[in-house]
A and B are shown apart, each in its own frame.
Chain A
């Protein structure tokens, strides 16, 4: 086997170029800890269960108006037709209403999973889906720890549906439609820092009304949507086993190893190739 060294160097150059591109992309990413993300604080003790938020959400995003009834203990899920739901949980403290929608994670697993950046964490805070980029692989659904993204399985032009915190309204200086529509003042829009301070204040002032935890402050590396509750969070449909560190962190180790493999493995293979070539020749000579 005669081997052309030039080809090999071409290969290495291509690999090098890929790496360079990869690195520059990594560098272009802003340091997320410096940005003030906006979010929403949901206080379940103030929620009346009127579902005004559900209706206004459907109207704003051209989805069918939710008609099913709200029954205590019957848990409805968000779906490709409904981005936000109110449920009535039967808990140790009686019946409690809780709203569910996308958590708008600080470091979203869905966006880290998306190979086209269709899922995207905006600098304002909302995590949005961009149909012109999405190829419908559903890796975001596999990865989201809260099982939020929903897919239109019965469409030839399927979309991923999930809450986008009314990103268009936020850009226009308005607040999310649900927060505006809520008659009980259960939804407060603001920067994450303000919201956490406000939540702490409420817990401090009325310690009897709340469990001493803000759901979303730490879970999954922190989320834009924050929750206050009168009952432990596992009683109102939250998976309290989720990790507190960010989910994209889980695959970072692997991704960081990729460039090293690309740099180290080809020369190693080439080295072995050269070594065995000589050995074989030596063998041949001995045999002759």
Chain B
């Protein structure tokens, strides 16, 4: 924070907040970082594509067809993105409900990540809607489709974003230096956490329940009545692996923000998370095994889709699970990171296998995303990272809260 900003931030509840925000809007640091050089042209191209999409229709930039109504934007951005955002509800559960104090220092950044993920990835849903101007219909209540799983998921996205914003809001108040607001907002945290965890269990599983009616279209190795439970359990280690991955990068990129104490605590945190991931993955693998045995799909294993299934289950569930276990025992941070990456690839595979690859796997023409769909997806991801960086550089997310917060306690 520069000097002027600091003085402004100190005088709380004052009228200078507006001036302060204006001064904070200006970019900080170098503009021509390697990340910016890659990200900004892609974002600009993505914006052009989005304009074309709204003029000429979704088909003008996507490979979607009557056989494949949902492609990369739903299968990856929304379904996979939300699984990765699951870290927020798991961590708030661990810290606020179970009081595992060790993890308190990473709650804020995880909640921020979760919030931005919902904002952008669920927001990407709007790009995929053919008639987005009607998106208010299920919200203002003139046409409630209460029998629809998607109705439930949409509402939960909305409410959960509010809950996460409340959980994060004390950081905003600390940034603005508004003491009274901070006090009120942090009083709301517990309610938001409890509400948020409940919403998360329901919509993480709800995303799986979306596919229940597509019984005859999804490959039987991925379809079962237990998809909702699979999605819920896997969101635990998907989210935590994302926390490990993102935390490892943040520790390098935002090195100067993190206090000495928290730097030292990091390896302990990663080991703890590795242990939890291994446990959740064991439960998940066991569930998958039970469902597989129960469904008697033995003959399907010896087909190309069957090999693909084994590839996912062994290569990207069993292997990273063992890796987590081993690296936890040997305290090998590098292996923990490797396990996190493998797990994340596994989650991407799984969600795409259910929603895109295994969907009408037997259709004569198969869907693959167009380069324009990929650019738009990258645009969404990069914009999210830019905003994330903007916030990290300004608000006390990774760094400790300002001194006055301690004084008040």
* A interface residues, Cβ below 8 angstroms from B: 1-4, 7-8, 10-11, 14-15, 21-22, 25-26, 77, 79-80, 109, 111-118, 131-139, 141-143, 145, 147, 150-158, 239, 241-243, 247-248, 250-251, 253-255, 258, 261-262, 265-266, 269-270, 272-273, 276-277, 279-280
Contact between A8 and B191, CB atoms less than 8 A apart: yes
Q: Is the CB of B96 within 8 A of A10?
A: no
**Nearest-CB distance from B161 to chain A (Å)?**
15
Q: How far is the CA of A138 from the CA of B212 in the complex (A)?
A: 15
* Contact assessment for B70 and A134 in the assembled complex, using a CB-CB cutoff below 8 Å: no
Which of B62, B210, B213 counts the most chain A CB atoms within 10 A?
B213
> Which residues of A are found within 8 Å of B214, using beta-carbon distances?
142-143
Contact B99 A141 (CB under 8 A): no
- Residues of B contacting A: mostly: helix
* Interface positions of B from 146 to 168, Cβ below 8 Å from A: 146-152, 154
Docked CA distance A22–B151 (Å): 11
In the assembled complex, B97 has its CB within 8 A of some CB on chain A: yes
Using known A-B contacts A151-B69, A158-B130, determine if residue A116 contacts B146 with beta carbons closer than 8 Å: no
Known: A10-B191, A254-B206, A258-B202. A113 touches B97 (CB 8 A): no
Segment among B23-31, B137-145, B275-283 that sits at the interface with chain A = B137-145
In the complex, what residues of B have CB within 8 A of residue A266's CB?
A: 194-195, 198
Q: How far is the CA of A237 from the CA of B151 in the complex (A)?
A: 33
**Cα of A7 to Cα of B184 in the assembled complex, Å:** 11
Annotate B89-126 by CB proximity to A: 1 below 8 A, 0 otherwise.
Answer: 00001001111000000000000000000000000010
* Central interface residue in B57, B205, B206, by most chain A CB within 10 Å: B57
12 contacting pairs across A/B (C-beta < 8 A):
A11-B195, A15-B198, A79-B66, A116-B145, A135-B135, A141-B69, A145-B215, A145-B216, A147-B67, A154-B60, A156-B56, A248-B147
Whether the pair B228, A136 counts as a contact (CB closer than 8 A) is no
Is B54 interfacial (CB 8 A cutoff)? Answer: yes
Task: Tell whether B64 is near chain A: CB-to-CB under 8 Å.
Answer: yes
Please give the distance in Å from B78's CB to the nearest CB on chain A.
11
Q: Please give me the residue from chain A that is nearest to B60 by CB atom.
A: A154
Structural contact, A251 and B99, CB atoms closer than 8 A? no
Give A158's nearest chain B residue, CB to CB.
B130
Which of A116, A135, A147, A258 contacts B152 (CB under 8 A)?
A258
The residues of A that contact B14 with a CB separation of less than 8 Å are: none
Contact B216 A241 (CB under 8 A): yes
Contacting pair A272 B98 (CB below 8 A): yes
Distance from B169 Cβ to chain A, minimum over Cβ atoms (Å): 13
* CB <8 Å contact, A109 and B134: no
Answer whether residue B187 sits at the interface, using C-beta atoms and an 8 A cutoff. yes
Select one of A142, A261, A279 contacting B201, CB under 8 A.
A261
CA distance A251 to B149 in the complex (A): 8
Residues of B within 8 A of A251 (CB): 149, 209, 212-213
Nearest-Cβ distance from residue A155 to partner chain B, whole angstroms: 5
Most A C-beta atoms less than 10 A away, residue of B67, B99, B132, B152: B99
Name the 9 nearest CB pairs between A and B, nearest first: A136-B130, A153-B59, A7-B191, A115-B151, A138-B69, A136-B131, A141-B69, A135-B134, A143-B213
Give B31-50 as 1s and 0s: 1 = Cβ < 8 Å from A's Cβ atoms. 00000000000000000000
Query: A142-B69, A251-B212, A251-B213 known; A116 and B54 CB under 8 Å?
Result: no
B190 within 8 A of A: yes
The answer, among A114, A153, A262, for a CB contact under 8 Å with B148, is A114
Contacts of B201 in A (CB 8 A): 261, 265
B225 interfacial contact with A, CB 8 Å: yes
Cβ contacts under 8 Å, B374 to chain A:
none
A151-B130 in contact (CB<8A)? yes
A153:B131 contact, CB within 8 angstroms: no
Contact of B54 with A254 in the complex, beta carbons under 8 Å:
no
Asked if residues B66 and A141 are in contact (CB atoms below 8 Å), the reply is: yes
- Contacts A139-B150, A142-B214 given; does A269 touch B194 at CB 8 Å: yes
Q: Which residue in B59, B147, B205 is a CB contact (below 8 Å) of A112?
A: B147
A156 touches B148 (CB 8 A): no
Within 8 A of A (CB), among B209-233: 209-217, 225, 228
User: With contacts A254-B205, A272-B98 known, is A158 near B57, CB below 8 A?
Assistant: yes
Chain B residue at minimal CB-CB distance from A4:
B187
Contacts of B195 in A (CB 8 A): 11, 14-15, 266
* Closest residue of A by beta carbon distance from B191: A7
Q: A11-B195, A137-B150, A265-B201 are in contact. List 8 more A-B contacts (CB 8 A).
A: A2-B187, A7-B190, A141-B69, A145-B215, A150-B66, A250-B215, A254-B212, A269-B198
